[in-house]
Amino acid sequence: MKFVVLTDTHFVVPGRLLYGLDPAARLAAAIEVINRDHPDIAFVIVTGDLAHWGQVAAYAELRKVLGRLVAPVVLLMGNHDRRQALREVFPAVDDDGNGFVQSVRRYDAATVITLDTVDEENPTHAGILCPARLDFLDRALAEAPADRPVLLFQHHPPFNTGLPHMDRIRLRNPDDLWAVFEKRRRPDQIFMGHVHRPIAGSWRGIPFHIQRATVHQVAFDLVSQEIPGSLEAPDYALVDVSPDALVIHQRPFLYDGPHYWLHDKAAQDAADISALRP
């Protein structure tokens, strides 16, 4: 099974820019490449911060752009999102029965669980998993088939990344999350957004992947207490789940060359390769 991960699209109302960027144009560019190059994916998942201010008009613009996707799309909540506004525009968005945007999807290759870590009452943007959401995860893990991996998706990381400005607004109760894992089973991979940087590693032995945002990025800064911004090139993740491996490719979708063969002597010797194409 293959699928694509996007995150932090931060849509605004039509006609407005965000940090000098057009979030709709960025996502449209990603979708063009995804549709062209990945006709065999099972779904595209967007791990939160869909709209920058949680506005209905921004979600409407997001729905318009996502309508170009050939593959099905799965939406998660992020700290910038608002459930009521999201459901007004996407009435079929996931609902766990308690109003949270959570779901379980079982595929032959893996079980996919999505969590809603948003605390709309918390002005700091930190995440939370309340008892109702933890109970949902408990049931999802208990019912997950044992013969295939569990892939968990959530917006907020439950651990420090080394970026002090973002670690202040991570998931606030990671030990409660871990207690559910210890009771049932550990997911085989956790996918997250929120940090706007590409980060990979393991948390208490569980591999994780934090996806880079499609719009503005958080600069690589391990010291500042304020959140530093940058306009680094965006990408998406192509995930390939097979019986013996899970492989994650980072694909830049705005790169326009040059392209060349590494064994081409002319390319090796060229003073300027900007116009080369294989």
Position 92 pLDDT exceeds 80: yes
Per-residue pLDDT reduced to its tens digit, 155-187: 999 999 999 999 999 999 999 999 999 999 999
Per DSSP bridges, beta strands 44-46 and 150-153 are: unpaired
State the DSSP H helix or E strand holding residue 249, giving kind and residue range, or none if neither. strand 245-252
Q: If we measure between CA atoms, which residue out of 192, 228, 232, 230 comes closest to residue 208?
A: 192
Per-residue tokens: 73: 């799309």
Task: Classify burial at 222, counting beta carbons within 10 Å of its beta carbon; exposed 0-12, middle 13-18, buried 19 or more.
Answer: exposed
DSSP, res 247:
E
At 179 the pLDDT is 98
What's the distance, CA 217 to chain centroid? 13
Residue 255, class by beta-carbon neighbours within 10 Å (0-12 exposed, 13-18 middle, 19+ buried)?
exposed
CB atoms under 10 Å from CB of 111, counted, come to 21
pLDDT at residue 122, rounded to an integer: 85
Do 199 and 176 touch, CB atoms closer than 8 A? no
Could you give the CA distance from residue 243 to residue 224 in angstroms, rounded to a whole number?
42
3-state secondary structure of 209: strand
Query: CATH number of the domain at 2-256, please?
Result: 3.60.21.10
Q: Find all residues with CB under 8 Å of 168, minimum gap 6, and list them.
A: 124, 126
146 versus 261: which is more confidently predicted? 146
What's the pTM value of the predicted model, to 2 decimals?
0.96
Query: Could you state, in order of their start, the residue ranges of all structural domains in the chain?
Result: 2-256
Q: Work out the pLDDT band at 271, boundaries 50, 70, 90.
A: confident
**In sequence order, which residues have a C-beta less than 8 Å from that of residue 26 and are 6 or more positions away?**
9, 214, 215, 234, 254
- pLDDT tens-digit profile of 13-62? 999 999 999 999 999 999 999 999 999 999 999 999 999 999 999 999 99
pLDDT in tens, 209-259: 999 999 999 999 999 999 999 999 999 999 999 999 999 999 999 998 888
Residues 6+ apart with CB under 8 A from 54: 80, 81, 82, 85, 86
